[in-house]
Amino acid sequence: MSLRRSIFHGSVVLGVGECAVYGLSFVRNIILARLLSRADLGVAATFSMVLTVFELASKMAMGRFLVQDKEGAALPFMATAHALQFAAGLCSTLLVVVAAAPLAHVFRLQGDVRTFQYLALLPLFQGLTHLDVCRMERDFRYVPSTLSNVLPQAIMTAVAWPLARWLADYRAVLILLVLKGIIALLATHLLAQRPYRWGWHRAFGIRMLRFGWPLVLNGLLMFGVFHGDQFIVASYYTMSDLAAFALAGSLATAPSFIFARVFPSLMLPLMARVQGDVIEFRRRYRLVIQVVCAFSAFYGVGLILGGEAVMQAMFGSKYASSGYVLGWLAAANSLRILRMAPAVAALAKADSQNQMLSNLWRVTALVPALAAALTRQSLWMIAATGALGEAIACVISFRRLSHRDAIPWSFSAIPAAAVLLVNGLAATGVLAGLYDLDAHVGIATAIVCAVLCGAGLTALFPDCRTQMNRVLHECGGGKWYLSLPRLFKSSP
């Protein structure tokens, strides 16, 4: 299969798979939100925080390194990666067991220490997963890794309703998480083509650790990015407040997570192939940042304008008045999406510190968030501090890419400024009273404005406009299926 056809096929598989994963996750969240009380859902939200802070195996990103490294397909390389991944998973398990009692005390859930200890099984499962499904992505073969993600989500969603009806409390979420870990582990082994082996090759191990340690630190910083504000809410507000904040967070991050899974997986191999060609690397980055900004505008405007209507439509009237939280979280995530472009470009040149440094600055926003919690401000004010942190992180990420990898600052700053402008206009619409409209009218308005902003920026950005013209030309010739693989064809 040619490179272009491989890219096109891979984009379809990844896109369908990620939409399935987060579509199933949405359905499951709706089921749990409607069947469980807000307090029980708040307790369940603490599970995610515990796993995020202590899960080390996924933070080391061994699968990503198999794709990036030139020797990633070698059997000794994979064996070494498996051994390191298991060691990280075992360390995570021990950390969860030790930290269970202190965390239960922080969350004022002293009677549920055993529940938190059960979560220690999940990082152990992660440490035993087979990395061969990741190795296949080197050749744009995404079906195995996609299936290993979709199957657990499908089974979890299928049993969510009867399990939640039967137990009627947060234990249902705990069982679902353990079930997901078991199924995901089995799926990676069943879909692998190579045998699962442990081994140790010193040179490979050193390279993996050198690549992985910034990502581990970055993963800890990502806890502050994605869950730091939730941790503050869990510590100073009620579990009911945490439930509303966590559900708003899940709505705000789901579309960006889908994009984050599909887009970098496609772009990292393409950027890495031209890492030594300065001109072509810049050209590809310029298109990447423009595509990312167009999506960011579409996503941000839609959720900022539709915040209140979407929360009630998804989770019911008991989550009324949570739209402002969703709107601010969406604004922050819109800026976080922008950082995908410099992150992919940096990883293509083996710079795993770009994300780490930008996230280090991002978590500084937890200081004003903590101040807001200590003075018992509204939840939306805690969410608003995230947008400030993301703006700072964007600047840091763009500057490092400019200084280290010789990408002109204007390539990143000008598209980002356009996203800030449209998000500001959307916020103005909210202040003008859009949340007071009928829910159906609010959602319809949000969709129309999101599409217009996304399409408008696509037409405004020169590289996006050129590629869109190619797509339209192929559509006119009845060959639309050839358009996507040509996005990275060198310009004449």
Whether 220 has a pLDDT exceeding 80, the answer reads no
Integer angstrom CA distances of residue 237 from 37, 315, 379:
16, 20, 9
- How many helices (H) and strands (E) in the chain? 22, 0
Tens of pLDDT, residue by residue over 83-103, are 988 998 898 899 889 988 898
Query: What pLDDT does 371 receive?
Result: 94
Q: Which of 194, 405, 181 is nearest to 281 (CA)?
A: 405
Asked if 78 and 131 touch (Cβ cutoff 8 Å), the reply is: yes
Contacts 24+ apart (CB under 8 A), 102-108: 103/46, 103/50, 106/234, 106/235, 107/43, 107/46, 107/234, 107/235
Q: Mean pLDDT over residues 455-477, rounded?
A: 73
More confident residue, 187 or 112: 187
Contact 299, 334 (CB under 8 A): yes
The DSSP annotation for 271-317 comes to HHHTTT-HHHHHHHHHHHHHHHHHHHHHHHHHHHHHHHHHHHHHH-G
- Find the mean pLDDT for residues 373-392: 91
Phi first, then psi: give them for residue 489, nearest 5 degrees.
Answer: -70, 135
Please give the Cα distance from 200 to 196 (Å, whole number).
14
Residue 129 φ/ψ, nearest 5 degrees: -65, 155
| DSSP symbol at 408 | -
Q: Where are the beta strands (DSSP E) in 398-462?
A: none
* Residue 298 predicted with pLDDT over 70: yes
Let me know: does 257 contact 334? Beta carbons within 8 Å: no
Main-chain dihedrals φ then ψ at residue 450, nearest 5 degrees: -65, -45
Question: Of 81-90, 143-152, 272-281, where does mean pLDDT reach its minimum?
Answer: 272-281
**Dihedral, CA of residue 145, residue 150, residue 153 and residue 155, to nearest 10:** -110
Please tell me the distance from the alpha carbon of residue 483 to that of residue 116, in angstroms, as a whole number: 49
The pLDDT value recorded for residue 217 is 74
pLDDT at 492 over 50: no
Q: Which residues of 298-319 are buried (b: 16+ CB within 10 A; e: fewer)?
A: bbbbbbbbbbbbbbbebbeeeb
What mean pLDDT, rounded, does the chain reach? 83
**Lowest pLDDT segment from 151-165, 250-264, 338-352:** 250-264
Tracing tokens 């009237």 back to the chain, one arrives at: 317
Q: What share of the chain is helix, strand, coil (3-state, %, to 5)?
A: 85, 0, 15
Q: Considering the entire predicted model, what is its pTM? A: 0.73
Q: Which amino acid is at 206?
A: I
Confidence of residue 490 (pLDDT cuts 50, 70, 90): very low
Q: What's the residue count for the chain? A: 492
For the chain, give every domain's residue range.
1-216, 237-460
Residue 169 is encoded by which pair of tokens? 């409390």
Q: What is the rounded average pLDDT of the residues 23-35?
A: 88
pLDDT at site 480: 45
**Residue 1's pLDDT band (boundaries 50, 70, 90)?**
low
* pLDDT, tens digit, 9 for 90 and up, residues 415-441: 899 999 999 999 998 888 888 888 788
* pLDDT value, residue 484: 46
pLDDT of residue 10: 66
Mean pLDDT value of segment 234-261: 84
Per-residue model confidence (pLDDT) at position 57: 64
Residue 249 has pLDDT above 80, yes or no: yes
164-174: average pLDDT = 91
pLDDT of 207 > 90? The answer is: no
pLDDT grade, residue 182 (50/70/90)? very high
Q: What is the pLDDT of residue 6?
A: 65
Q: What is the pLDDT of residue 425?
A: 92
Note the pLDDT of residue 475: 59
Q: Give the residue from 89, 88, 65 showing the smallest Cα distance to 77.
A: 65
Q: Which two tokens stand for residue 455?
A: 């399409």
Identify which of 445, 441, 453 has the alpha carbon closest to the alpha carbon of residue 415: 453
Evaluate if residue 227 carries a pLDDT over 90: no
Q: What is the pLDDT of residues 477-489, one digit of tens each?
A: 555 444 444 544 5
- Alpha-carbon distances of 44 from 94, 123, 461, rounded to whole Å: 21, 17, 43
pLDDT > 80? residue 339: yes
CB 261 within 8 A of CB 339: no
On the 0-12 / 13-18 / 19+ scale of CB atoms within 10 A, 440 is: exposed
Complete DSSP assignment for 198-267: ----HHHHHHHHHHHHHHHHHHHHHIIIIIHHHHHHHHHS-HHHHHHHHHHHHHHHHHHHHHHHHHHHHH
The pLDDT value given to residue 491: 40
In the structure encoding, which two tokens stand for residue 20, read together? 């399935």
pLDDT score, position 152: 92
pLDDT bin (cut points 50, 70, 90) of residue 143 is confident
Q: Which of 57-66, 293-302, 393-402 has the lowest mean pLDDT?
A: 57-66
Amino acid at site 296: S
pLDDT class of 449 with cuts at 50, 70, 90: very high
Cα(123)–Cα(282) distance, integer angstroms? 38
More confident residue, 468 or 245: 245
- Given a cut of 50, whether residue 258 has pLDDT beyond it is yes
- Give percent above pLDDT 90 in the chain: 25
Here the tokens at position 172 are 């249902």
Per-residue pLDDT at 331: 92
Q: Give the separation between CA 370 and CA 372, rounded to whole angstroms.
A: 5
Could you tell me how far CA 142 lies from the centroid of its own chain? Answer: 18
